[in-house]
Each structure stands twice: as structure tokens, then as C-alpha cells.
Structure 1
Amino acid sequence: MDRRKFLAGTATLGTGAALAAPALGQSRTQLNIVNLWSEGSEGRGAILSAVAARVSGLSGGQLTITVTNGAGQAADAALSGADGVVGAEEAWMGKSAAFGLMTSTPGGLVERELEAFIRQENGQALWDALSAAHGMKSFYLGDTGAEYLWAQTVPGDVSAFSGASVAARGLAARLYTALGANVTTPAMNVVAPGGAAFAETGPLADQQQAGMGGLNKVALGTITRPSAAVSLTLKSAAWNGLNETQQRILTAATTAQSHITAAEALKRNALAQQILRLTGAAEVTTLNEDVFHAMMPAARDVLNGLASDGAEAAALVDGYKRFGEAVQSWTRVSEAPFATNRRRSFSA
């Protein structure tokens, strides 16, 4: 493929406009971006390096990203000394709890629905407005899939969470707190925290590889983490310092990566589930429907409570809810019945 023809407009990768070829002799721009995930050859830890390679290739080296390992750092501290960070938007909930919507929302959008909200509805614009109010600009880098509840004993009643130790992040942590749990929030790169009776702290693939210690049961179909979006967040000054071509290149690179992230996560999580079942390393089950439904009122309260964080947060919550009402009705009559009937057919 001829790189200049590509950049001149043979592919836009969702940017809405053709990319201009970088001019020879153009000044080079370097972004220093911190990776809040543990570095690795696959999964979340590999995303930033992949974006950096794609950006350099598309720009002919005119725009480059220096990757800094910041696993275990707090997002604010990492961003203060860099141009940006790769992590999850729930890391910014100290600025506005509404950022949690763009990672995972209890009882909310699953990964495909969340991407549709961002790409095809007004989700990106609403997200941009919230981010700009805090001096940031964020990009969706894909989703590593729903996260599930690891436990010593799978709860048969919602009261099991009251007084129990739970490791959770983001809006899920708020839900468990509302249910009376003693919640701890591990660092973003920690997938297997010790000492908790319940944990929802990472993709199934990463947890299967790490092992979950004394938590040897995993309940699928939980309400709390229906998605787990990954994001790149830049300082507004870093984003505004890029020229138009560089901004389009970065947007194209992150859009392309989002598809790869989702595809890889589907494969890795499916294989992890099979390994757990075949090896007996953990008992794989499904959360009781009664427990799911008993948690829903608290999940709605968590969502509705986000609107009090200012005008930008209120607008994002309103847009999220409106889109959710429409898209979930379609998921219910399209994908869900097919998946149910397919499962019955294969098991017959």
C-alpha cells in the first residue's frame, strides 16, 4: 500500500474527512503518553504500543508517541507529568463521576452499545464537552468485554454483599457501596487483588492467567460491569498543539485500534472461559436472576446520581439514558433471542 495515497484519502477510518499526507520537512511532534496498564504483548497492556506504531506509520514519523510505563500510578499523577495517559475513564471520577459512564455502567450499555453511543450518536461530543471542562480530550480505544464476579461463594441473595469485602472500580464500586459492602479499589493494573470475598477487577482472560487466589468461583451475567472500555486521554493543550493532519492521524489510529481491541478481547475471554471449565481451575456459573434484579434499583440510583456533577455531566447522563432506552429495546429483540435459541440448538 502506498502510504501517501492512504493518507491523502483512500481511507478515513471513521474520521469523517480524508487525511492529508504529511509534508516533507514538516516539524516533528512527539507526545509522551503513560500506560497505566501493565505492559504486555497482548491485552490492555499492549494497546498503547500498538497505537504508537500506527501513528508513526501513518504520519511518516512526523508524529510519534513515547510510551512510558506507569502501571500502578494514579491517573492524575501520571497525566501531570505527561501529555496523556492510556487507561480507563473511570480513573477521572475524582473530577466528575460521570466519566465512569465511558468505562462501564451497572445495568447499562454492553460494549457494542457503548461504542454505538460514542460513534453514531452524540456520545463523543458529550464526552468531549465533559473532558474539555477538565482540560482533557479523550479517545475510545475499544472494550475488553464485560467483567464478572469472582467469589468464594456465589451470592444467592443480594444481602450477601452487605458487610462483605468487595474489590471493584468505577461505578460498580458505587453500586456495591450502596448495597452495604466494604469496597476497596485496587490500582488499575491489578486484576487479582487479595483479601476480598468478591472481586470484579479485570477481563476474564487476564484473571484466568493471573489466578484469583481463594476466589474459585466466577459468576457470569452480572449487572455491574457490562463493558470495560479503554481510553486515551490527552491534556487539552497537547491535543490543541497538534495540527489538523496530526489530529486526524491520531483519531484514525485510535479508531482502528478500537476494533482490534474488541476482537482480541472476544477471542481471549472465550478461550479463558473454556480453560476454566476444562481444567476446573474455577467453577463457572451464572448470577442468580433474582440477585440481578434486586441490584437494579441501586444501579438506577447510581446512574441518576451522576447528573448532579454539573451541566456537562447532566448532558452526558441524559444522552446516555436516551440512547440506552432505544438501543436496548433492539438488543432485546434481535441479538438476545438469537443467542438464546442458538444455545438451545447446540445443547439439544
Structure 2
Amino acid sequence: MERRKFLKGAALGAGATALATPALAQGAKQLTIVSTWPRDFPGLGISAQRLAARIAELSDGAFNVEYFAAGERVGAFDVFDEVASGNSQAYVAADYYWVGKHPGFAYFTSVPFGMTTVEWNAWIKYRGGQALWDELAGEFGLKTIPCGATGTQAGGWFNKEIESPDDFRGLKMRIPGLGGQVISKMGGSTVSLPGGQIYENLVSGAVDATEWVGPYNDYFMKFYEAAQYYYTGGMHEPGGGLGFGMNRAWYDGLSDWEKAVIEAACLEEHANSYEEAQALNGEYLQRLIDEQGVQVRNFNDDVWDGFGEASAEVFEEVRDHSALAKKIDDAFQANLREIGNMMAQFEITFVNQRNRVLGLG
């Protein structure tokens, strides 16, 4: 393919400079990608496969790309160590799965009361977020960049209505990241299960509730067979960014052109996955209601206040973890306030008034 033309018009209007096309080296570089999602998994899994195929296509033979879904090479939650060790070259995952290694990883997926996808993109690309991600990932021998987004995620699937913060006491819920720590602060019992194991645990009663993504992704998971109450707009993942994590030594050995190919493919899929979800969520929410009788609910203000109080405790613990955790939280919160305030005055003001005038929502 014409590489100059591709790079000049690279995804997301990144303003990429046209690069000279290098002669292909003798033999392609191996790029083994491992994922946290099963093969052909609706939404997230298909997005990861699409990304792997796109890198292979755009590299025009420079990379020998092999893709392994969860369980095909290593387990879903083993991909971090697999890539950090150099056994594979890259993973596709939500980095908040790694909060047990460092709580700072949560900020590079989503955190309670955090940034929407649009706000998070601005922070990562233009306000120093990527540099902090590099600093954190570098401590583990990794280099990670955005490669997917879900938009604001649903509050979750429950087998009972949630009418007060006390309803979380004793509740067994699948919810990873700092959001899971918030539910624990509220008296719940939380676990972080790979996507392919959620349904069986919900149906068996091993968990009472689960969060996943949003209507489009959730429709195919059939959670409604065990939990009929579906809560919109969760506090835990207002953005839901995904990461393409590469072995740092391998990445450092790439040419500028090879790095540009990977970055362009990742940015393209980052946009595609977000736009796909926004295009389909409304349709699939209605299908959940009409076809499966799902009861859609919103958390009330008392529940949201309970989330807020518990979140404040969680963030204090994150900041106490290490100097780097505090540095990440300081930067994140400062940018959230600046970017979020601008969003509130312009976009949110417009959306609220548009919906009022047109009778939407």
C-alpha cells in the first residue's frame, strides 16, 4: 500500500507528518498480541481482533502479527506479565485490571467520578496524561497507548433494586478497578472476573450483580437471564479507555515509521470502538427493554452521595500509596476540574437545553 498517503491522513486528525517509507528489513518483526477477551467476544473482543488485523494491514509486511484471545496463549489476567516478560510483544486490555500492581493504572482506564471519553482523550493527548502513563508503565517494562473506548458505562446489572447506599451491604458484585473498591467501602463484596467468566458466575448466584460496558456490549452477554434491573450511568467508568501495552524494550527497538504505524492503527480503533458504541447503544437498550423485559433504572441522589463519600476514601488511599500515585492523581484531578468546567459551561449546557427543548431523555 502507499504508506506515505496512509501516514499523512492518519486516524483522528492527529496531524501526522508524512514520513519517508523505509525499505523493508530482511524478515518481518514478530508482533504477538495477547488479549483479555475471548475470541469473537461481542464489542471488546472484536475490537481487539480488528486492531490486530489493521496493524498487519498497515504495516504491509513489516510485522508478522499473531493474535491470541484470552486463554489461547495465556489467561485473561496473565497478559500483563506475559508482555512485561517479553514472551509476547503486546496486549490489549483495560489497564485498571492492574491496580493490584499499582493503583495508578486505574486512571488510564477510568476512575469513579472521573473523566468522560472526550475529557480523557484531551488529558492523555494534550495535557500530559500520556507522559504519566509512560512513567508508570515504564516501571514495569511497558509502553502503553490508547486503543479503544466505550464511552460512559452502565451502572450495572442487579437482581434487586438499589434504593439506598445500604442496599450494597452484603452485595456480591463483579466490578474491577477503583470502582470495586468504592463498592467494598459501601459494604459490598467485590471480585474482578474476566469477561468470559461473568455470565456463569451471575447465573449460578456466585455474584448478585455485575457491571460490564453498555447496552450494545451487554445485550450479547445475556445478563438479563439472572438480573433484570439495569442501571444507567455508573459512577465507576465515565470513560472506559483501553490500552495497547507493548514490551518497552521491543517498542524501543522499532523504527519511527513502525511506531507510527502502530500508533495510527491504535488511534483509529480508539475512535472506531467509541463511535460504534455510541451508534448502537440506543438501539440495543431498546431491544433489552422490548425483547427481554429489562427494567431500566437510575441511581437516586442518596446512592450517588454514598458513591461520592466512599470514592473520597478510596482516592485518599491511592494518594497514600506512593509518590507516583499522588502525582498521577494530582494531575488527573486538576485536569478534570479544568476540562470538566469547560465542558459544563458549553457542551453540557447545550445538551441539557437541547434535550429540554426537544423533549429528549
Q: Judge same fold: TM > 0.5, yes or no.
A: yes
CA distance in 1, matches of 2:15, 2:190: 40
Alpha-carbon distance, 1:39 to partner: 1.9
Could you tell me which residue of structure 1 aligns to residue 115 of structure 2? 109
Q: 1:102 to 1:335 in 2, by over 3 A?
A: same
CA distance in 2, matches of 1:310, 1:235: 24
Share of identical aligned residues, percent? 24
String of CA shifts for 1:230-256, please: whole Å, max 9, x gaps. Answer: 111111122112122211211111111
Q: 1:208 to 1:156 in 2, by over 3 A?
A: same
SS at match of 1:334: helix
**Range 323-332 or range 192-201, more displaced:** 192-201
1:253 to 265, 282, 289: 265
Alpha-carbon distance, 1:191 to partner: 4.9
Superposition CA RMSD, Å: 2.2
**Range 38-47 or range 231-240, more displaced:** 38-47
The letter of the residue matching 1:205 is Y
CA distance in 1, matches of 2:7, 2:280: 35
**Range 310-319 or range 91-100, more displaced:** 310-319
8 Å CA contact retained: 1:167, 1:198: yes
**Range 280-289 or range 183-192, more displaced:** 183-192
Unpaired runs of 5+ residues, structure 2, are: none
String of CA shifts for 1:150-175, please: whole Å, max 9, x gaps. Answer: 11222111111112211111111111
Could you tell me which residue of structure 2 aligns to residue 201 of structure 1? 212
8 Å CA contact retained: 1:219, 1:287: yes
Could you tell me which residue of structure 2 aligns to residue 225 of structure 1? 237
Could you tell me which residue of structure 1 aligns to residue 312 of structure 2? 300
Q: Does structure 1 residue 152 correspond to structure 2 residue 159?
A: yes
8 Å CA contact retained: 2:90, 2:247: yes
8 Å CA contact retained: 2:4, 2:19: no
8 Å CA contact retained: 2:112, 2:237: yes
The letter of the residue matching 1:265 is A
8 Å CA contact retained: 2:174, 2:198: no
Q: Does structure 1 residue 55 correspond to structure 2 residue 66?
A: no
Written as runs of structure 1 = structure 2, the 5 A alignment for 1:261-340 is 261-340=273-352
**Count of residue pairs brought into register by the alignment:** 347
CA distance in 2, matches of 1:189, 1:120: 35
Alpha-carbon distance, 1:219 to partner: 1.2
8 Å CA contact retained: 2:35, 2:76: no
Alpha-carbon distance, 1:270 to partner: 2.0
CA distance in 2, matches of 1:277, 1:155: 19
SS at match of 1:74: helix
Alpha-carbon distance, 1:321 to partner: 0.7
Q: 1:9 to 1:164 in 2, by over 3 A?
A: closer
8 Å CA contact retained: 1:70, 1:78: no
SS at match of 1:155: coil
Could you tell me which residue of structure 1 aligns to residue 132 of structure 2? 126
CA distance in 1, matches of 2:150, 2:248: 26
8 Å CA contact retained: 2:143, 2:251: yes
The letter of the residue matching 2:116 is V
String of CA shifts for 1:103-136, please: whole Å, max 9, x gaps. Answer: 1111111121111111121000111111001111
CA distance in 2, matches of 1:279, 1:19: 51
**Range 181-190 or range 75-84, more displaced:** 75-84
SS at match of 1:224: coil
Alpha-carbon distance, 1:27 to partner: 4.1
CA distance in 1, matches of 2:335, 2:255: 33
Written as runs of structure 1 = structure 2, the 5 A alignment for 1:17-56 is 17-40=17-40, 43-56=43-56
8 Å CA contact retained: 1:161, 1:176: yes
Could you tell me which residue of structure 1 aligns to residue 14 of structure 2? 14
**Range 48-57 or range 251-260, more displaced:** 48-57
Could you tell me which residue of structure 2 aligns to residue 242 of structure 1? 254
SS at match of 1:117: helix
CA distance in 2, matches of 1:182, 1:156: 18
Q: 1:19 to 1:190 in 2, by over 3 A?
A: farther
Alpha-carbon distance, 1:137 to partner: 0.7
8 Å CA contact retained: 1:191, 1:202: no
**Range 236-245 or range 301-310, more displaced:** 301-310
Q: 1:202 to 1:9 in 2, by over 3 A?
A: closer
Could you tell me which residue of structure 2 aligns to residue 74 of structure 1? 77
Could you tell me which residue of structure 1 aligns to residue 353 of structure 2? 341
8 Å CA contact retained: 1:135, 1:235: yes
SS at match of 1:5: helix
The letter of the residue matching 2:185 is A
